[in-house]
Structure 1
Amino acid sequence: MPTVTGDSRLQSDVLEELSDARAYRRWLAHLARPYLGDDPVEVGSGTGDYALEWAPTVKRFTATEADESRYKALAARFADHENIVTRELLLPDAEADGHHTAAVAYNVLEHIPDHVGALRGMGALIRPGAPVIIIVPAFPSAMSRFDRAIGHERRYTRDSLRTAMTEAGLEVEDVRYLNPIGLINWYVSVKGLGMTPRNGALLRLYDRTFVPVARFLDRRGRAPFGQSVFGVARVPAAPPHVPGPRG
């Protein structure tokens, strides 16, 4: 059964500490938007910052969280939002009925030991032919003390994410690296110097200066490396109904 690992308090602190990265968040939110449909579900919504980016563009948005304390904060934050529904969710979901138009999980899969089972569980939440949209941290060589403290089981390559999606029975549509500038910065600051990502002048400078460049480069072509891997895979479409012979 997929479970989520890591220091829950540290995870919550980091989510709050990175709230200033607004340009970065808008960029990543934009990548998923064409796939969402009108009734998507987010797996591992954290503090709900991405939900706020996506909800205005859909009819109904379901934000979920496995951690009890974060779920309570999430539910309180969205109590007055008409089109955002919140629920506590740990995959696999026994109540999954496959009605959502998409499942999106940003920086969640790397926390789950059974990531194939988690992807299979996400597929059970959505309709046949609907997409699962994933972002995960890239490159095992970038694994740092911070990664381990926050509960990262692994970092990915394009091939390893593609393999996990395929093993989960999903049909891979797109897998690519994002943000090569961010990976270089990660090697230097987080892995090399042991820094913890947090709000402040450096993060705001990076967000205003380097994120627009990384976004521009992503529009121009596919990077050979990056800080994250972005992937889209679909639940196989239901086979067409073929009526049997009439008796």
Structure 2
Amino acid sequence: MTPLPPLAPNAWLRWDLVQRMLRRIGPVRSVLEIGVGQGGFAARLATGLESYIGYAPDQDAWLIASKRLSDIASARVLNACLPEGPLFHADLICAFEVLEHVGDDVQVLKQWGEWLAPNGVMMISVPSRPQSFGHWDVAVGHYRRYTADQLERLFYQAGLKDVEVRGYGFPLGLLLDLVRNRVLSISAAGSCEHRTSRSGRLYQPATATAPLLQATMMPFRLLQRLWSESDLNTGLVAVGRKPT
């Protein structure tokens, strides 16, 4: 069996919360992921499903993600943006670190919701702490960061119910944000779309470092659970259901 892809430190913090929230959602048969990146989460989500379909607009990231999911017969990764109208309906829609890249987030979330099956679940992750918007956000094409209240209202405005928002990242996430902002000076070269497309490829760990990185991150994954509702968290994960 192909080893799971490595995750960057911040992605490990995010996955720890995502994994726990997925358990609370319960079993799902089909997943649609919007913005697959290099497939780090996709390889973990797709295992054991009847159907996994992911959309990866960036060709370089798509090539890597496709290879990483090639052993999973029920999984497909498409090198395309999500079409405007639904071609199928999924039990779970995921978009990790995508919504902050779009201008009209309410309208986009409504469009994504059209792909949900009745009583299906939307799961979104976004960066938090708007006051921390900095060099990194500009360089990767972010329009904004969110507070928990803003993200909760957004879900309700998009017609979802039973919304829950939790945070992750404190305390290590604050240091990671500081380092990224110091290392990556402001660079607005290229369009926002260009900066967005490259965002999933920046600072990705080498496969050889995966075991060490996973072990190193475990204490921080456990520590952050003590502050899941703190305003000091650097990321948010939200879930909401589509009414039947």
**Separation in 1 of the partners of 2:212 and 2:39?**
23
By how many angstroms is 1:119 displaced? Answer: 1.0
Change (3 A) 1:108 1:220: closer
Q: Please, what is the CA RMSD of the aligned residues?
A: 3.2
In structure 2, C-alpha distance between the alignment counterparts of 1:149 and 1:82, rounded to whole Å: 36
**Aligned residue identity for 2:94:** V
- Please identify, of 103-112 and 160-169, the stretch whose mean Cα deviation from structure 2 is larger: 160-169
Q: Secondary structure at the match of 1:180?
A: coil
User: How far 1:94 sits from its partner (Å)?
Assistant: 2.0
- Of 132, 137, 144, the match for 1:154: 144
After superposition, the Cα gap between the structure-2 partners of 1:155 and 1:172, relative to the gap in structure 1 and judged at 3 Å, is farther
Structure 1-normalised TM-score? 0.74
Matched residues, number: 219
More strand by share: 2
1:229 aligns with 2:236: yes
CA-CA distance at 1:186 after TM superposition: 3.7
Offset at residue 166 of structure 1 (A): 1.5
Q: Percent identity?
A: 22
Taking structure 1 as reference, are residues 92 and 175 closer, same or farther at Cα in structure 2, changes over 3 Å only? farther
For residue 91 of structure 2, give the secondary structure of its aligned residue in structure 1. Answer: coil
| The 10-residue stretch of structure 1 (209-218 or 119-128) with the greater mean CA deviation from structure 2 | 209-218
Unmatched segments (≥5 aa) in structure 2: 186-201
Query: Given the two structures, how large is their TM-score scaled by the length of structure 2?
Result: 0.75
Who is 2:22 aligned against?
Answer: 33
Shift of 1:126: 1.2
Per-residue deviation, 1:171: 1.5
Q: Distance in 1 between matches of 2:46 and 2:65?
A: 14
Structure number with greater Rg is 1
Q: Which moved more, 1:131-140 or 1:158-167?
A: 158-167
For residue 233 of structure 2, give the secondary structure of its aligned residue in structure 1: coil
Residue number in structure 2 paired with 1:63: 54
Equivalent in the alignment of 2:74 = 83
Amino acid at match of 1:140: P
C-alpha distance in 2 between matches for 1:126 and 1:72: 26
Alignment partners' CA distance in 2, 1:206 and 1:75:
23
Cα drift, residue 204 of structure 1: 9.0
What is the distance in 1 between the residues matched to 2:228 and 2:127? 20
Instruction: Using the TM superposition, give the Cα deviation of residue 135 of structure 1 relative to its aligned residue in structure 2, in angstroms.
Output: 0.7
C-alpha deviation, 1:24, in angstroms: 3.7
Residue 173 (structure 1) aligns with: 163
Check conservation: 1:23, 1:212, Cα contact below 8 A.
no
Q: Is the 8 A contact 1:109 1:115 kept in 2?
A: yes
After superposition, where does 1:130-141 map in structure 2 within 5 Å? 130-141=120-131
Q: 1:218 maps to what in 2?
A: 225
* Amino acid across the alignment from 1:226: N
Q: Between 187-196 and 149-158, report the one with greater CA deviation.
A: 187-196
In 1, the alpha carbon distance for the partners of 2:217 and 2:84 equals 39
Partners of 1:187 and 1:48 in 2: CA distance: 22
Which residue type is aligned with residue 114 of structure 1? D
Deviation readout 1:189-220 (Å, 9 max, x if unpaired): 234565785648xx998864455334344168
